[in-house]
Amino acid sequence: MDKTLRIMLRLKSSYRINSILYGIGQFPVLGRFLPEGLYRMRLPKAAAAVLGAVWEVVLVFLGKALYFFTMVCGIGYLYRQADPRAVFLHILVLFTLMGSTLNNTMFDAGREQYYAILLMRMDAKRYTLLRYGYAMAKTVVGFLPFTLLLGTACGVPGWACVLAALAPAGVKTAVAALSLRCYQKTDRTLLEVGLGKVQWAVALAVLALAYGLPALGIALPVWLSEAAMAGMVAGGVCAVPYLARFGMYREMYQYLISKNMHQLDRAKEASRSYDRNTISADLSITSRKKGFEFLNELFVRRHRKILWRASLRITVVCLVAVGAALIAVLVSRNAAAAASRILTQSLPYSVFIIYVLHRGSGFTRALFMNCDHSLLTYSFYKQPDMVLRLFTIRLREIVRINLPPALVLGMGLPAILCASDGTFRAAESALILVSLVGLSIFFSVHYLTLYYLLQPYNAGTEMKSSVYQLALSGTYLVCFFIMRLRVPTLVFGLGCILFCTLYCAAACVLVYRLAPRTFRLRN
């Protein structure tokens, strides 16, 4: 195998293997069982390499499968009045054109390119050509099964299906060559010269043509699509000698990498300055309280913009939605019947709604970035009684901030329910109110408990806990699946109240026992 290709693949593979091993090591229990010197042991590395290779293969086909089944065929099947063969090729050709600039890896200048070209001083031309060739080969291999399978199902001949798989690689290569030529002449890539400014407008126009024309019963003639694809492949073939001749890869990547690094630094600084800018500069904000109550009051009042304002806006939106629903129920019999049916059967939806409306993760992030990040370096702040005293104050605060939307919905939904059939349902109304308020309190406890038990940030304000991220994703998944439950309001409401009460009690006990040890800056 070519030496440069071997090094490139090994670099890529090592990066992936080490990322997998590092990720496993981050799990609190699992991480403890990992042996010393894991990164030099053959078996775990081989296992991670297999996992990585499987993932690489999955990635080749997964993205393409999603693309074909949703964007090409999924939407294509909606256009019954047009010829399916023409629609299939019409959408594919236009999207292939769009992807030639929006999804062209030639100008990727990230960590991988930095390590290979600048740090390890690999031959930039060989490296780039091999990397790009590898990416194009993956594109063709990924496309081919789907163009053959779905294309023939639409009546596209086999040779055109093969052409459709080759066309994306061809047009991307042609655009890459054009862009390199542009760089050679102007010291800037095509995207920077002007295409960048209009590419999103062009993309939107192409998207409109790809989906809009078939909706009107118009599609590019099959022969034109086939000719366009053949042209793309020919363009790619013609562009290859230019790519091979181009001699400024190193300079170009050096320029692109330094530009990207600068942008990354700017993004990091922008994020930090965003956190700082969330602090109100209004010095008339003061507090007469003492100790941690003083700290908390100033924190909340100086962060009103991100804490209270978001909650109040959501509350207003909820009020408007409830008001509109009430009017609809009062004026329309159909709406009243639908509301009655939905509200008596679909209380599980409220879990997802309260989850979406809750600002708990933003609250804990602000707590860390603008308060705990600094104060956790002082020993007094980590004293068990201090940690618990502040936890209690913060729990009260996060509950208070997130309660208004839940209260509006908790009172609004029963009002809609009662208005829908003109009867006052006291038990159900009370149950809905208590469940929604309970859910809001549950999410407040949940986010603050996760923050105190897993404190995910290090001194450099980087998120360092994969468990914390998993817990947040798990919360989303659980809420999503609960939404699909179909149980009567009474059963769900009672279950919900019971669960929230037990969870809050257990979480508080855990925090009181463990937080003095876990609420630390991560190393």
Partner 1 sequence: MRFLIEHLQKSYGKKQVLRDVDFAFESGKIYGLLGRNGAGKTTLFNCLNHDIKSDAGAFWLEEDGQRRPLKAADIGYVLSTPTVPEFLTAREFLKFFVEINGCCVPGGLDECFEIVHIAPEDRDRLMKDFSHGMKNKMQMLVNILAQPNVLLLDEPLTSLDVVVSEEMKQLLRSLKAGRVTILSTHILDLALDLCDEIVLLGHGELERVDRADLDSADLRQRIIAALREEDDG
Residues that bind partner 1 (CB under 8 A): 36-37, 276, 279, 281, 283, 290-292, 294-295, 298-299, 302-303, 370-371, 373-375, 377-380, 382-383, 386, 459, 520-521, 523
Shortest distance, CB of residue 303 to partner 1, whole angstroms?
7
- Alpha carbons 188 and 196: distance in angstroms, whole number: 11
From the number of C-beta atoms within 10 Å of its C-beta (0-12, 13-18, 19+), residue 426 rates as exposed
Residue 177: which residues within 8 A CB-CB, separation 6 or more? 239, 242, 243, 246
Provide the H-helix boundaries in 3-123.
3-25, 28-33, 42-66, 73-76, 84-102, 111-113
Complex with partner 1: residue 201 or 281, whichever CB lies closer = 281
Shortest distance, CB of residue 194 to partner 1, whole angstroms?
40
- Let me know: does 65 contact 146? Beta carbons within 8 Å: yes
Complex with partner 1: residue 36 or 484, whichever CB lies closer = 36
What DSSP string runs through 202-217? Answer: HHHHHHHHHHHHHHTT
- Alpha carbons 225 and 86: distance in angstroms, whole number: 8
Shortest distance, CB of residue 514 to partner 1, whole angstroms?
15
Shortest distance, CB of residue 379 to partner 1, whole angstroms?
4
Shortest distance, CB of residue 458 to partner 1, whole angstroms?
12
Shortest distance, CB of residue 261 to partner 1, whole angstroms?
22
Complex with partner 1: residue 82 or 515, whichever CB lies closer = 515
What SS3 state is found at 457? strand
Complex with partner 1: residue 35 or 422, whichever CB lies closer = 35
Both structure tokens of 196: 């960048």
Complex with partner 1: residue 250 or 382, whichever CB lies closer = 382
Residue 79: which residues within 8 A CB-CB, separation 6 or more? 87, 214, 215, 217, 219
Shortest distance, CB of residue 41 to partner 1, whole angstroms?
13
Both structure tokens of 74: 């999924």
Question: Can you name the residues that pair with 457 across neighbouring β-strands?
Answer: 463
Complex with partner 1: residue 280 or 345, whichever CB lies closer = 280
Residue 68: which residues within 8 A CB-CB, separation 6 or more? 146, 150
Residues in the chain: 523
Of the candidates 225, 223, 213, 212, the one whose C-alpha atom is nearest the C-alpha of residue 167 is 225
Complex with partner 1: residue 192 or 372, whichever CB lies closer = 372
Distance of CA 374 to the CA centre of its chain: 29
Instruction: Give the N- to C-terminal CA distance of the chain in Å, as an integer.
Output: 42
Shortest distance, CB of residue 374 to partner 1, whole angstroms?
4
Shortest distance, CB of residue 242 to partner 1, whole angstroms?
48
Complex with partner 1: residue 241 or 291, whichever CB lies closer = 291
Shortest distance, CB of residue 312 to partner 1, whole angstroms?
20
Instruction: Count the Cβ atoms, other than its own, within 10 Å of residue 191.
Output: 17
Shortest distance, CB of residue 383 to partner 1, whole angstroms?
6
Complex with partner 1: residue 281 or 477, whichever CB lies closer = 281
- Alpha carbons 408 and 420: distance in angstroms, whole number: 18
Of the candidates 144, 138, 139, 141, the one whose C-alpha atom is nearest the C-alpha of residue 158 is 144
Complex with partner 1: residue 81 or 523, whichever CB lies closer = 523
Complex with partner 1: residue 157 or 384, whichever CB lies closer = 384
